[in-house]
Amino acid sequence: MPIDDRALSSAICSVVYQVDRVASRRGYHYLFYGDGFFIDRDGYVLTAAHVLGPLHGGQPYLLIRTANGPQRFVQASVVALDRDHDVAILRATPNPFEGDYNVSFLALDRQSPLAGHTVLAAAARPLKPRDSYTLDPVFEERSPGEVINFEFSQLEKGRADTELFLFSHSIQPGQSGAPVISLDSHGVAGFVEGQWLHAYDTEAASPASGAAPSLQTPAAAGNGGPVPGAVVPIHYAIALLQQKGIAWHEISEGSGDREGAAGDAEASSLPAPFSLIPAAYPSQALFGGEVMLDALVESSGTLSDIKIVSGEQPFVEKALAAARTWTFVPARAGGHATEARIAIAFQFPQPYVPPRSSTAHNYDEGSSAGAANRAALALTTVEPKYPPESSVEGSVILYESLDSQGVPTSTQIVRGLDALTPAVLAAARKWRFAPARQSGAATDSAAILVVTVRRPLVDNRASQ
């Protein structure tokens, strides 16, 4: 089924600053900064946080088309910002869905598109972004492209890593914050990230600056090839929406804010993953590492009270940055959402030597590992063997249900990678756990295993 382009157009709004309070023959004068898009009938809008930067704290407005045609300014309040991952939530006031406006909303798709799949960036911008009037024409752009790959980047120096996906279309100035639609689901897979393009241009112009590592990818590097477009996955926006208790519409379920997913978990008392991302492999790490966390999944589905059971820097920093953005369908008891602890393991197999066959973990019973209420503990971990004849890098995420003996009873692939998933599953079958405890007694629990693999620098086929 083709995308409803009329509905798509009416869901996109321009983020602007109103210059004039009196109209001229061209309408009202405004400065254009980027796009946003509505996600529900309550007037909530998602955009890139850096789009608001040039306002320097001034009042943002949304430029929205009325039912009879002309564009009109609607004041927008800033509800929440995640500057690490460049996400902003705005709310139009008054709500245009209750007025005489031509508006619609877009559903979100938390499933990241796969490499090779087609996405569509949908943007609207004036001809002169810094000298525009409300009666001037607005150009609508539809930019399709294939997903190339995923990579991590610091969008600003000193910020946490953000996982981006790149697609085969160059981004034009002014497209930041525009929704990127999956042509498989017709849901919003993410939004255009213009800062990445700026960082890429800066790095290309000044390779000796030392400000940030190169952001080039195989599709963009060398021979003057096209620079791909960068997209912030909708995962980060979902995390911020959930933290703020704001409902949204989920494309896979056809309704808002995890209702369908919660129904799937009705028969289970364990928390279930809703939206997870892996951790970036630390660029400065010479060898691999592992991080074990024990976290509380709140009844809201967000993580809190994250305890570091074991691990060393720089791996701990990367693991925590990723886990803090995770969202879950909460555990249920007696028909109600309840909190529960969950074990989280991040593994970064070492890329320089053949994989370690196994690692035994010993825990101090006087630490949080000996608490009366805690998640399961990984006692033995095994690194996957890198598949021969492969050159892939990436991450696999598994969700395991554990019984009161600590034995896995089921394994779900939350995020897979064709070349790596079989090896990660084979290694995970050799892991051993001490059971979780609740009020001092062993209990059923859940564990998340995140394995992030670098291409090995020493061929491991001889060890197989």
Whichever domain contains 401, its CATH number is 3.30.2420.10
My answer on whether 23 and 163 are in the same domain is yes
Residue 140: CATH number of its domain: 2.40.10.120
Q: Tell me the torsion sign for CA atoms 88, 94, 97, 101.
A: negative
Q: What is the mean pLDDT of residues 233-240?
A: 97
Q: What span, in angstroms and rounded, lies between the C-alpha atoms of 122 and 172?
A: 12
Count of CB atoms situated within 10 Å of the CB of 266? 9
pTM strictly above 0.85: yes
Give yes or no for residue 254 having a pLDDT over 70: no
Residue 246 lies in a domain: no
Residue 255 lies in a domain: no
Give yes or no for residue 446 having a pLDDT over 50: yes
My answer on whether 394 and 439 are in the same domain is yes
Give yes or no for residue 380 having a pLDDT over 80: yes
How many residues belong to the chain?
464
Q: What span, in angstroms and rounded, lies between the C-alpha atoms of 237 and 163?
A: 13
Residue where a domain stops, chosen among 184, 207, 232: 232
My answer on whether 289 and 365 are in the same domain is yes
Return the structure tokens found at 71: 């564009």
Residue 351 lies in a domain: yes
Q: What span, in angstroms and rounded, lies between the C-alpha atoms of 458 and 464?
A: 13
Residue 413 lies in a domain: yes
- Note down the domain range covering 387: 266-463
Confidence of residue 227 (pLDDT cuts 50, 70, 90): confident
Q: What is the dihedral of CA 275, 276, 277, 281, to 10 degrees?
A: 170
For 274, list phi and psi in degrees, rounded to 5. Answer: -110, -55
Strands (E), 326-387: 327-329, 331-333, 336-338, 340-348, 359-360, 377-381
Domain count, the chain: 2
Give yes or no for residue 251 having a pLDDT over 60: yes
My answer on whether 276 and 378 are in the same domain is yes
Confidence of residue 244 (pLDDT cuts 50, 70, 90): very high
My answer on whether 103 and 176 are in the same domain is yes
My answer on whether 183 and 272 are in the same domain is no
Please tell me the predicted confidence (pLDDT) of residue 203. 42
Q: What is the mean pLDDT of residues 412-433?
A: 95
Q: For a pLDDT cut of 90, what percent of the chain falls above it?
A: 71
For 68, list phi and psi in degrees, rounded to 5. Answer: -95, 10
Cis peptide before 422 (omega within 30 of 0): no
Give the chain's mean pLDDT: 87
Give yes or no for residue 221 having a pLDDT over 80: no
Confidence of residue 215 (pLDDT cuts 50, 70, 90): very low
Residue 332 lies in a domain: yes
Residue where a domain stops, chosen among 175, 208, 232: 232
My answer on whether 292 and 156 are in the same domain is no
Q: What is the mean pLDDT of residues 79-99?
A: 97
My answer on whether 349 and 218 are in the same domain is no
CA distance to 27, 97, 137, 145, 383, per residue, from 263 (Å): 50, 29, 46, 35, 35
Q: What is the mean pLDDT of residues 289-311?
A: 96
Residue 52 lies in a domain: yes
My answer on whether 12 and 156 are in the same domain is yes
Residue 124 lies in a domain: yes
My answer on whether 223 and 298 are in the same domain is no
My answer on whether 216 and 284 are in the same domain is no
Q: What is the mean pLDDT of residues 230-246?
A: 96
Please tell me the predicted confidence (pLDDT) of residue 252. 62
Please tell me the predicted confidence (pLDDT) of residue 261. 43
Confidence of residue 116 (pLDDT cuts 50, 70, 90): very high
Contact criterion met (CB below 8 Å) for 270 and 224: no
My answer on whether 217 and 332 are in the same domain is no
Residue 237 lies in a domain: no
Please tell me the predicted confidence (pLDDT) of residue 211. 28
Give yes or no for residue 314 having a pLDDT over 50: yes
